[in-house]
Amino acid sequence: MSFGRRLSAATQAYGPLCVGLDPHASVLEAWGVGDTFEGLERFAEVCVEAFAGQVGVVKPQSAFFERFGSRGVAVLEWLLQQFRHTGTLTVLDVKRGDIGSTAQAYAEAYLDDDAPMAADAVTVSPFLGFGSLAPFFTEAERNDAGVFVLALTSNPEGPQFQHAVGADGRTVAGSVLQQLAELNSGELSSTGSGAGALGSFGAVVGATIGDTAEDLAIHGPLLVPGLGAQGGTVEDLKRLFGDVWGQVVPSSSRGVLRAGPDPAALRASAQQVNDQLVSS
């Protein structure tokens, strides 16, 4: 089953929310587990207990694990493995982007189903050119995995590149979105998927970008970080993504994680956000 189909099934079963698993120092301290390797281990254990089989998608941010060195990466590897086959999909937030054999190695590291750090999907950067991402798309197709490409991010520096206009008159972001739409159309056509089906190749679009004239109908998922603590509201999302609301996977990290470390409280926090997203 393709990633797009698996994502649709997961969000229909548990709601559209993606919970960001960011063991930021402030989160670990607020949980009372300490900004230490032992605190990171406890964070991972609690997140698995709270969210596995309870939410549709989780998005661990690799950097917050990597800062603890090889032991932190081992915890991330353990966490990814614990979520496998629970019904909860993992999007590994690493924002990789390179060329040739290096891009291929990154793709195999995160998307090969037999890899120790295999995730259901990965985030990538198109800065070296959309074509440089081909190994990720190929590896994703081979393993029924997904790829989310940075397109319209909320950081203030983003527009310098994303809004730049090429010789064809399209913005860089618009070009990325169009090429994702073409990839998804090809995938859905080859599998005979019906109208409304979701492709496996998504875009990252920030919840707090304000307005955009870009065409977000890419026939694939839109991963939307920034809901909650970063300032994005459900009303913002509805306004920005009204025509493509069915493609949106809103992501919240600190807004949900502040309820920890009690697993039941974390589940309730995620459910509350999901209820708001579904009922709005």
Active-site residues, by number, are 95
Place of tokens 């190994």: 135
Looking at the DSSP bridge assignments, the partners of residue 205 are: 152
DSSP letter string, 156-218: TTTHHHHT-B-TTS-BHHHHHHHHHHHHHHHHHHHHT--TT---SEEEEE-TTS----S----
Q: What are 227's strand-pairing partners?
A: 232
Distance CA 123, CA 157 (A): 19
Distance CA 13, CA 56 (A): 7
The residue among 212, 213, 208, 211 whose CA lies nearest residue 250 is: 208
C-beta neighbour count of 178 within 10 angstroms? 15
In angstroms and rounded to an integer, the radius of gyration of the C-alpha atoms of the chain is 18
- Token pair, residue 240, equals 């920005």
d(CA 220, CA 198): 5
Give the C-alpha separation, 28 to 67, whole Å: 13
Q: How many helices (H) and strands (E) does the chain have?
A: 12, 8
- Helix-strand-coil percent breakdown of the chain, rounded to 5? 50, 15, 35
